[in-house]
Structure 1
Amino acid sequence: MFVDSHCHLDKINLEPFNGKLSGVIDAARAAKVQHMLCIGVTLDDFPSMREQVAEFPDVSISCGVHPLYVAKHPLNREQLAQWAALPEVVAIGETGLDYYYDPESRPVQQESFQYHIELANELDKPLIIHTRDAREDTIAMLREGQAERCGGVLHCFTESLEMAQQAIEHLDFYISISGIASFRNATELRDVVKALPLERLLIETDSPWLAPVPHRGKENQPAYVSEVAKCVADVKGLTLAEVAETTSENFYNLFKRVR
């Protein structure tokens, strides 16, 4: 059985599933996906996302504001704190820093990131981190904010082995691997996956984006998380069952509020 530790169910095109999210969930279940974590990226979208997945016991949710969104819209701290405290919210994020797409907004991103870290510690809920071209600042802010208290994951990881090791050793974080690892030109990322301990890895789809091989070019969905697991297994010389079991156990160890 697999766990998709990061997906955006409310962003998936439902037309191939007769317009129903239940079709996406049924496809995931048929592919032996036992749980999915649906990620919040804006406060505007959170109520709708929460409502859409509420009927599915094998879907949990997070609440947070993506760094590229907060750069264009002021962060409503009071609203974020209120919704993040809901019992069905199991994690804070996705949050973090993205200097690749919007380097000019660094101060605003950092202010938001700092608040997410504070809130995660206050609520004792793990952080879901988006980081791109911001390695030093991401680790520094997590350490300064004592994020090891709440724990968390660097999701859809594409950065260096050194950054991953710092997150694991200094913050007790997990590293989540997406379908990118299966792409032909992702040699360096596969080297990182090979070097990291399986006990610190999660797997994800980040659907509807980044469909893994052999589905690359199609819209992604949680059912494809098994292909990410297969890629990890092949890279590390393990069985698919070993990767499925350990990454699922890691997920539940991190997201302790998942029922």
Structure 2
Amino acid sequence: MNGSIIDAHLHLDLYSEVERKILLQDLKKYEIEALISVSNNLSSAKKNVELAQIDQRVYAAFGFHPEQALPSEIEIDQLLSFIKNNTNNMIAIGEVGLPYYLRREKPEIPIEPYLEMLEVFIQLTANLNKPVILHAVYEDAPVVCELLEKYSIKKAHFHWFKGSSVSVQHLMQNGYYISLTPDCLYKPSIQQMIKEYPLTNMMVETDGPWPFEGPFKGRMTHPKMIRHSIAKIAELKRIDLKDAYQELYRNTKEFYQL
């Protein structure tokens, strides 16, 4: 192996108990130093706190995943209270953003309530001085960038980012970070973005337990897959594999202050 790795974005709480046990037992074997486990809602956040307390290699982020129905006012208030009361147990706000895929399935869904909720999370990010982990792809990215700029947010992590060249340039100009998943092995659009985006603002992730295609089809998503991603990034960037490992590892450590 060429160095330690960090999974910058996964949903550890969504794995089954058996899968999670296997994954955590494998961390040392595959030199996986840390996992950034994001939350979908309040119950997810509570589970991630529990997992982080059991295993110090797990770092919890708290948020509300946008690709689901909006929470009630009571639910969002409870989540916000939980976040404020557990700031010391939180590595970042996340996962938050806008419901791109949900709106493709149901175009009648209004975007305004999601924008309002996202602004609350971004404002909280500014108040707590924490990084924010974003689900904002394609045409949603410029809208989210405007909100980040409104609150002078610098530490923004666009996970599994996909978007136009214009959006990519916007993220680059603002110094935002993106993270790549194992789909970089078989998605030409992602490979092109890797060539364009500065390595200094990249991280690697799995978004597990989300499944992948190509060489990973039918396999449980595991942080060890990141090693294949790093090899592909090194190839596309035309740099030494060891240098790619070191840069991606350093980026994640510094961004999340691990």
Cα deviation digits, residues 136-163 of structure 1 (max 9, x gap): 3122222223222xx1110011222332
Q: Partner residue of 2:172? A: 168
The answer as to 2:12 corresponding to 1:12 is: no
CA distance in 1, matches of 2:184, 2:142: 23
Unmatched 5+ residue regions in structure 2?
Answer: none
TM-score by structure 1 length?
Answer: 0.88
Partner of 1:132, secondary structure, is coil
Cα deviation digits, residues 86-106 of structure 1 (max 9, x gap): 212010011011233225231
The answer as to 2:156 corresponding to 1:152 is: yes
* 1:21-170 to 2 correspondences below 5 Å: 21-69=20-68, 71-74=69-72, 76-85=75-84, 86=86, 87-102=88-103, 103=107, 104-133=109-138, 134-148=140-154, 151-170=155-174
Residue pair 1:114, 1:145 contacting (<8 A) in 2 also:
no
Q: Partner residue of 2:215? A: 214
Structure 2 counterpart of 1:201, one-letter code: M
CA distance in 2, matches of 1:240, 1:13: 33
Q: Partner residue of 2:190? A: 189
Cα deviation digits, residues 83-128 of structure 1 (max 9, x gap): 3232120100110112332252311110111011000000000010
Q: Partner residue of 2:235? A: 234
Residue pair 1:194, 1:236 contacting (<8 A) in 2 also:
yes
Residue pair 1:157, 1:178 contacting (<8 A) in 2 also:
no
Unmatched 5+ residue regions in structure 1?
Answer: none
**1:35–1:213 CA distance, 2 compared to 1 (3 A):** farther
Q: How far apart are 1:253 and its partner, in Å? A: 1.4
Partner of 1:54, secondary structure, is helix
Structure 2 counterpart of 1:68, one-letter code: E
Cα deviation digits, residues 21-45 of structure 1 (max 9, x gap): 3421121321111111111111132
Structure 1 counterpart of 2:37, one-letter code: C
The worse-fitting range, judged by mean Cα deviation, of 214-223 and 246-255 is 214-223
CA distance in 1, matches of 2:211, 2:232: 14
Partner of 1:214, secondary structure, is helix
| Number of residue pairs aligned between Structure 1 and Structure 2 | 247
CA distance in 1, matches of 2:241, 2:72: 44
The runs of at least 4 aligned residues of structure 1 exceeding 4 Å deviation read: none
Residue pair 1:40, 1:93 contacting (<8 A) in 2 also:
yes
CA distance in 1, matches of 2:58, 2:91: 11
CA distance in 1, matches of 2:83, 2:110: 24
Cα deviation digits, residues 155-212 of structure 1 (max 9, x gap): 0112223323312322x211111112112xx212211101111101000000111437
CA distance in 1, matches of 2:251, 2:213: 21
Partner of 2:70, secondary structure, is coil
Report % sequence identity. 22
**1:238–1:213 CA distance, 2 compared to 1 (3 A):** farther
CA distance in 2, matches of 1:43, 1:4: 22
Q: RMSD between aligned alpha carbons? A: 1.9
CA distance in 2, matches of 1:105, 1:233: 41
